[in-house]
A and B are shown apart, each in its own frame.
Chain A
Amino acid sequence: MNIKSLITPLATLTAILMSSPSFAEPTYGFSQIGSESGWRTSETNSIKAEAERRGIDLKFSDAQQKQENQIKAVRSFIAQGVDGILLAPVVESGWDQVLREADRADIPVVLIDRGVDADPSLYLTKVASDFKEEGALAGSWLAAETNGNCDIVELQGTVGSSAAIDRKSGFDALIGNFPNMKIIRSQSGDFTRAGGKEVMESFLKAEGGGDSICAVFAHNDDMALGAIQAIKEAQLDPADDILVVSIDAVPDIFKAMADGDANATIELNPHLGGPAFDAIAAHNDGEDVPKWIKANGPLYLPDTAAAEYEARK
């Protein structure tokens, strides 16, 4: 017997010994889109932290914005025999095949923060915010703040994006209940600061200096931050002369609120790990899980802004 023939069984034994703790703690795979924005980075960190808190061995894969990388990652999770897969799909279509493979391997897949157009029976559930409810929450805050009397200008997101369409329709539906609330101007600022500033400048000019504008509703915080600068440059006081309400809760908007330049923001909830792991646990216990678990964030006001900014910066 030579050394070589001894090594193989030894290595196998070691591997079995090393991997034995994984029988105790569940192993999940998480395929993330990438780290293109601050929000996505905090989503990744939140899910990793949640996994650690629950003693889950989380295998993380960054797809760098490519669907093929995500499909590869999901296949390798299946090959490793994980207990569940979290998938933040970069696009809506083209998932049927790989989801079917996971289904056949009896591994539950939870979609994170975005949907897919595949057959809903192929995945366990989707954990995501409801953009319509975000829009409605912004509208209801504004209605309460102005007693239902407000001429609003709206900064839309990129035309055709689901966030822009649904935030608008949720907001429109809510203010439709108040006869004296109406959107007097609405244009796309492409979700960017520069876009929000340019559009707000033209609104202020078109509305005779902005005296008739009661509030600005921006589909994201970045556009609101641009609009705040435009309002200041028109010699008006943002948050006072013109109310500013937006969605996402990025750190800079908390700074603006603390400085008295913005009124309210609604968080696009990045803490999706908890509900996702709960859903898989419930499924394993044989419970029924709804196809869409809504994980909406709260509305933040200036009173907590300074503390939130310190915590998030």
Chain B
Amino acid sequence: MQFVSKPRPDAKTLAPVISLFVLIMGTSLVTPGFLDISIVDGHIYGSLVDIVHRATPMLLVAVGMAIVIGTKGIDLSVGSIIAISGAVTAVLTVNTEWLPFVVMGCALLAGMACGLWNGLLVTVFGIQPIVATLILMVAGRGIAQMITGGQIVTFHSEFFNAIGNGFFAGLPLRVVLAIVIVVATALVLRKTALGLFFESVGANAESSRLMGIDSRMLILIAYVFSGFCSAMAGIILAADIRGADANNAGLWLELDAILAVVIAGASLSGGRIYLGLTVIGALIIQTLTTAILTSGLPAQYNLIVKASIVLLVLLIQSSRTRDFVKSRLMLARRSSHVE
């Protein structure tokens, strides 16, 4: 796994990985057959596959979010961008004879245009990121509803069916797509100085600028990239249900994406990008959702169980909790020595 800021394998970086492992093991005790993986019709099948399959849209959004948060920003509009790109995909597929590649390109461009708008508000107009992206978060769903005419637009296309539910070399195609995007992003950030630039802008935009880094351009790029990732997620989500649901597609996904970045150990005050751990964070959240669905828990407990476990993961990660536990252990040891 590629890390941009190369974290040492200390307790903090190990926490998300261990949490994911414990979570999967715990679920397999509650739900027998959770770990089963088999080959059905030449492709891989099982609950674990479902988790990765279902996690791809949120994972993509989280990767974009990780970079935006790395620059000390935040992008609340990702859910709305998902709705917009889904709407563009559906409406163009239904109303034109364009090749699916062209339709997909238009949807991605729509998402990047949204990102550009966010980036311009943040850099040129100096609006705080949370406020700047809030505007599109609210307006974007309206734009998507305008595109679809307020209805769920259903479409049929072999190409998009494949993106939503197809398989490539036995693996779900959308997972392959996500892996390609994540690995390419990690390579670009790590093999060039770009990752370092993003982090330095996040740590201190003013001193980065004095050192000759074009902070504005970098922040702009971060938001455009986040728009691209969200648009990709929107295409996958629309392809999944073969329809664009402007009211519900990607609703509250921004919160899950931010959570994934936080679980990865990044601070919301910027300066750190952990791509690999963000992926783990996204998987943790999706594992929780899938585990709750397969466990037979009554629906009204879903959110409270999810929140409790996320809190637990974050507590394990917090250095203060660890110091507290360590000092308690040391006290206990000391007192046992005295006796």
- Which residues of A are interface residues toward B (Cβ below 8 A)? 35-38, 41, 156, 159-160, 185-188, 190, 192-195, 197-199, 201-203, 205-206, 208, 222, 225-226, 229, 233, 235, 252
Point out the residue from A185, A197, A199, A205 that lies within 8 Å of B240, measured CB to CB: A197
Interface of A is mostly: helix
Q: Report the minimal beta-carbon distance from B47 to chain A, rounded to whole angstroms.
A: 5
Give the complex CA separation of A18 and B54 in angstroms. 63
Partner of B296 from the list A195, A206, A226 (CB cut-off 8 Å) is: A206
Closest Cβ–Cβ distance, residue B146 to chain A (whole Å): 12
Whether the pair B152, A186 counts as a contact (CB closer than 8 A) is no
Using A206-B293, A235-B41 as known contacts, list a sample of 6 further A-B pairs with CB atoms less than 8 Å apart, ordered by residue number in A: A187-B299, A187-B302, A192-B245, A193-B245, A202-B294, A205-B47
B94 to chain A, nearest CB (A): 13
Could you give, for residues 301-324 of chain B, a 1 whenever the CB lies within 8 Å of some chain A CB and a 0 otherwise?
A: 010000000000000000000000
Q: Chain B interface (Cβ within 8 Å of chain A)?
A: 31, 33, 40-41, 46-47, 50, 54, 150-152, 154, 165, 237, 240-243, 245, 247-249, 289-290, 293-294, 296, 298-300, 302
Contact of B50 with A202 in the complex, beta carbons under 8 Å? yes
A residues less than 8 Å from B302 (CB atoms): 159, 187-188
**B293 and A202 form a contact (CB under 8 A):** yes
Bound-state Cα–Cα, A202 to B295, Å: 9
State the CA gap A159–B152 with chains docked (Å). 22
Task: Say whether, besides A38-B150, A229-B241, A235-B40, A194 and B249 are in contact (CB < 8 Å).
Answer: yes
* Chain B residues, CB < 8 A from A233: 165
Identify whether the interface residues of B are mostly helix, strand, loop, or mixed.
mixed
B148–chain A nearest beta-carbon distance, Å: 11
Leading 4 A-B pairs by shortest Cβ distance: A202-B293, A188-B299, A193-B241, A192-B248
| A229 / chain B contacts, CB cutoff of 8 Å | 165, 241-242
B248 touches A194 (CB 8 A): yes
Given the complex of chains A and B, what is the CA–CA distance between A188 and B298 in angstroms? 9
Given the interface pairs A159-B299, A202-B50, A252-B152, the reply to whether A190 lies near B293 with Cβ below 8 Å is no
Q: How far does the Cβ of B93 sit from chain A's closest Cβ, in whole Å?
A: 16
Please report the C-alpha to C-alpha distance between residue A38 and residue B248 in the assembled complex, in whole angstroms: 14
Minimum distance in angstroms from B21 CB to a CB of chain A:
20
Which residue of chain B has the shortest Cβ distance to A168 in the bound complex?
Answer: B299
Question: Contacts A205-B46, A206-B294, A252-B152 hold; do A193 and B300 have CB atoms under 8 A apart?
Answer: no
Bound-state CA distance A188–B154 (Å) is 23
Contact across chains for A38 and B294 when beta carbons are under 8 A apart: no
A193 lies within 8 A of B150 (CB) = no
- B299–A156 contact, CB under 8 A? yes
Minimum CB distance partner of A154 in chain B? B299
Residues in A neighbouring B46, C-beta threshold 8 A: 205
Which residues from chain B contact A185 at a C-beta distance below 8 Å?
296
Q: List 28 A-B contacts (CB under 8 A).
A: A38-B151, A41-B150, A156-B299, A159-B299, A185-B296, A186-B299, A187-B299, A188-B299, A192-B248, A193-B241, A194-B237, A194-B249, A197-B241, A198-B54, A198-B289, A198-B293, A202-B47, A202-B290, A202-B293, A205-B47, A205-B294, A206-B33, A206-B293, A206-B296, A208-B33, A229-B165, A229-B241, A233-B165
Contact B300 A159 (CB under 8 A): yes
A202 partner residues in chain B, CB cutoff 8 A? 47, 50, 290, 293-294
Q: A192 CA to B245 CA in the complex, in Å?
A: 8
Q: Which residues of A contact B294 (CB under 8 A)?
A: 202-203, 205-206
Note all chain A residues with C-beta closer than 8 A to B300. 159-160
Cα of A198 to Cα of B151 in the assembled complex, Å: 21
Complexed CA–CA distance, A233 and B150 (Å): 28
Counting chain A CB atoms within 10 Å of each CB, which of B31, B150, B294, B300 scores highest? B294
In the bound assembly, the distance between CA atoms of A159 and B289 in angstroms comes to 15
Task: Report yes or no: A226 in contact with B154, Cβ–Cβ below 8 A.
Answer: no
Kindly state the separation between the CA atoms of A88 and B241 in the bound complex, as whole angstroms.
31
- Chain B residue numbers with a CB within 8 Å of A187 are 293, 299, 302
- In the bound complex, residues from chain B placing their C-beta under 8 Å from that of A41 are 150
How close is A263's CB to chain B, nearest CB, in angstroms? 20
Q: Give the CA-CA distance A252 to B155 in the complex, in Å.
A: 12
Q: Which residues of B contact A201 (CB under 8 A)?
A: 50, 54
> With contacts A194-B248, A198-B54, A199-B293 known, is A252 near B241, CB below 8 A?
no
Residues of the A chain whose Cβ atoms lie less than 8 Å from the Cβ of B150: 35-38, 41
Question: What is the distance, in angstroms, from A201's C-beta to the closest C-beta of chain B?
Answer: 6
Expressed in whole angstroms, the minimum distance between the Cβ of B174 and any Cβ of chain A is: 13
A226 to B31, CA, bound (A): 24
CB contacts (< 8 Å) of B50 on chain A: these are: 201-202, 205
B301: nearest residue on chain A (CB-CB)?
A: A159
A191 to chain B, nearest CB (A): 8
Residues of chain B contacted by A38 (CB below 8 angstroms): 150-152
Nearest residue (CB) in A for B286 is A198
Q: Is the CB of B245 within 8 A of A194?
A: yes
From A193, A203, A206, B152 is in contact (CB under 8 Å) with A193
Chain B: which residue is nearest A197 at the CB level? B241
Complex: A199 Cα to B54 Cα, angstroms: 11
Assembly CA distance A94 to B242 (angstroms) = 40
Assuming the A-B contacts A159-B299, A194-B245, A235-B40, are A206 and B31 also in contact, with contact meaning beta carbons closer than 8 angstroms in the complex?
yes
Minimum CB–CB distance for A86 against chain B, Å: 22
**Closest B residue to A157 using CB positions:** B299
Q: What distance in Å separates the Cβ of A207 from its nearest Cβ neighbour in chain B?
A: 10
Shortest Cβ distance from B242 into A: residue: A229
Residues on B with C-beta less than 8 A from A198 are 54, 289, 293
| Minimum C-beta distance from B232 to chain A (A) | 16
